[in-house]
A and B are shown apart, each in its own frame.
Chain A
Amino acid sequence: MKDSVVRFTPIQRIEHSTVMSLFAVLALTGLPQKFYDHGWAQRLMGLLGGVDTARFVHRTAGVLFSLVVVVHISRLVVLVAQGRTSLALVPTRQDFRDAIVTLRYYLGLSDHQARFDKFDYRQKFEYWGLVLGAAIVVGTGFILLYPATLTRFLPGEFVPASQLAHSNEGLMAFLVVIVWHIYNAHLNPDVFPFDTSIFTGRISRHRLRHEHPLEFERLERNERNKSSKIA
């Protein structure tokens, strides 16, 4: 019996690496546009070859990111319709109960820890935050890219509103990644220095039993029943 199990499919791993790279490019070329009047932003713009180059790169990466989002959602719709994917990322009432149990545990009000399934509430929150954030930046991004075309259907005020929403949503996503995702994937003492699951696609049985006990128990049951189904 192997000491690690498959957690992510190759397609999921490719999606993560693509989004990660595009996100870095978008943040690098986008944030200095938002903070145009700060010295660091102007120096960074200079290093990037000027605002026009930075905008070209930002727009290209934005269109690629939109494609990733569209492909991800379309694929998901098809897989869900065919019943070929698990719905492990759908938020349930249990997630709210888990959040409260976890907070009580952190605060020392209880020694009882929440027992998570394949994805815990924090992972679901981050996934859905990414999906909703992506919907906002992609939607507003296209308004900013084609303002003349889109104001044929929308009031003009949507353009400056999109500018604010796009840059603030981008800033928030950047901060969430810097604070929350970097902590959960790197700095958290449980995984420090590097949670490699999303890159290797595998997670150790030891970690699975600790972090996703419900999934681990189901896995063991299935193995006992000599079934190869994983989740």
Chain B
Amino acid sequence: MHLFLLATALLLAPQNTAPAAQDAETCLACHSNPQLVTTTGDGTATRLHVDGATFAKSVHAKLACADCHTGMSTVPHEPRPFRTQRELTLAYDEQCRRCHFANYTKTLDSVHQASVARGDRTAPVCVDCHGSHDIQRPSEPRTRISQTCARCHQGVATAYVKSVHGRALTTEAATDVPVCTDCHQTHDIGGPHQQQWELRTPELCGRCHSNAALMKKYGLSTAVLSTYLADFHGKTASLRENQGTTPTGKVVARCTDCHGVHDIQKADDPDSPVMKANLQKTCRKCHEDVNANFPGAWLSHYEPSWKKAPIVYGVKVAYSVLIPFMIGGLGLQILLHLWRLMVNR
């Protein structure tokens, strides 16, 4: 699809009959000059230098300059009405969609695009994340993704690097731990405080944490999602997700409320909010003034058993015997009664 669009774009560009390399050479005749500047409407000097070697190594090396920079066929170029360099960058964002239409439509649903639409000129457009003349595959190496986001989101990025996920990525070079975009999406990045996103948290974490092969590698349990869903918080989250709403100000505890978000740690890390010693404090985030017994109400993702939660397990076993016995017994008596009535006739 992209290739087709690319081919079409090339065919539809009558001023670009020369092959790409030649085209770049033509432009670089001027633009390889590091001193080349122009002055934008606000009076600032804007450098127009392009490093030919960097461009030749980019994924777009085979494109012609004019594929993106349209309307430059006359030399010297027609004056452009931009007041600032940022205005120019924002205007050039339109060029990417000609080939990358699918990703462009996704960005329309993103928080970044929402900021752009509100008139926030600092909100990122394509080139702010992907680069321009130096454009490379965004996920090579994988660590590059969080570094890209960190350019603006420094606070969360610092927390992430110290988290169990971030440490595994940076120090163990693990390729299967989540980077920013695994949870937040790439082009259609949603607002993390949007209700739908909040309600979907267990599903999001569950994508990896209920994957048996992946969890085995890290020695983690896959029962975390099912045990969460079976408890009060999980049931509420499920039922509210189906409703699609949460009453204002009432959010039920999801994974991140207890475990943390970007600063998430191993459950046995002394700093983890779900470490036993810290649990009472964590519960108190929502349940004010609860005492030390209260965290015991949560079975820490364990399935009830004689060892882990004997009272709960006892109740479970008792009813799994009692209910069939009771209903079976009563049903049998009804059938016997009907049978006797038939015999009597």
Contacts and interface: CB of A to CB of B under 8 A. Distances in A.
A106 B340 contact: yes
B334 interface: yes
Contacts of A105: 340
A52 B244 CA distance: 12
Nearest to B236: A51
A106 B339 contact: yes
A160 interface: yes
Nearest to A169: B319
B332 to A, nearest CB: 10
A157 B337 CA distance: 43
Given A50-B245, A157-B309, A160-B297, A33 B326 contact: no
B224 to A, nearest CB: 16
Contact of A51 (B239, B288, B312, B334): B239
A183 B293 CA distance: 45
Interface stretch (B15-23, B162-170, B227-235, B259-267): B227-235
A107 B315 CA distance: 34
A154 B293 contact: yes
Interface in B243-298: 243, 245, 247, 250, 287-291, 293-298
B319 A156 contact: no
Contacts of A188: 337
Contact of A183 (B290, B304, B319, B334): B334
- The interface residues of chain A, by DSSP majority, are classed as helix
A2 interface: no
Given A179-B334, A183-B334, A160 B299 contact: yes
Nearest to A154: B293
Nearest to A162: B315
Interface string A103-127: 1011110000000000000000000
Interface in A51-72: 51-52
Contact of A45 (B242, B299, B309): B242
Contacts of A144: 232
Nearest to A36: B235
B56 to A, nearest CB: 56
Given A42-B239, A180-B334, A156 B293 contact: yes
B312 A157 contact: yes
Given A52-B250, A155-B296, A148 B311 contact: no
Contact of A46 (B231, B236, B242): B242
B243 A45 contact: yes
B143 interface: no
A152 interface: yes
- The interface residues of chain B, by DSSP majority, are classed as helix
A159 interface: yes
Interface residues on A, range: 35 or more
A173 to B, nearest CB: 10
A106 B336 contact: yes
Contacts of B338: 189
B341 A151 contact: no
Contacts of A45: 239, 242-243
A168 interface: yes
A163 interface: yes
A149 B343 CA distance: 58
A171 B327 CA distance: 11
Given A42-B239, A159-B297, A171 B323 contact: yes
A52 B316 CA distance: 26
B184 interface: no
A33 B238 CA distance: 10
A158 interface: yes
B333 A160 contact: no
B7 interface: no
Contacts of B236: 51
Interface of A: 32-33, 36-37, 42, 45-46, 50-52, 103, 105-108, 144, 147-148, 151-152, 154-161, 163-165, 168-169, 171-172, 175-176, 179-180, 183, 188-189
20 contacts: A32-B239, A50-B245, A51-B240, A52-B247, A103-B333, A106-B333, A108-B340, A147-B294, A151-B293, A152-B293, A155-B296, A160-B298, A160-B304, A161-B314, A161-B315, A164-B315, A165-B319, A168-B323, A172-B319, A172-B326
Interface of B: 229, 231-232, 235-236, 238-240, 242-243, 245, 247, 250, 287-291, 293-299, 304, 309, 311-312, 314-316, 319, 322-323, 326-327, 330-331, 333-334, 336-341, 343
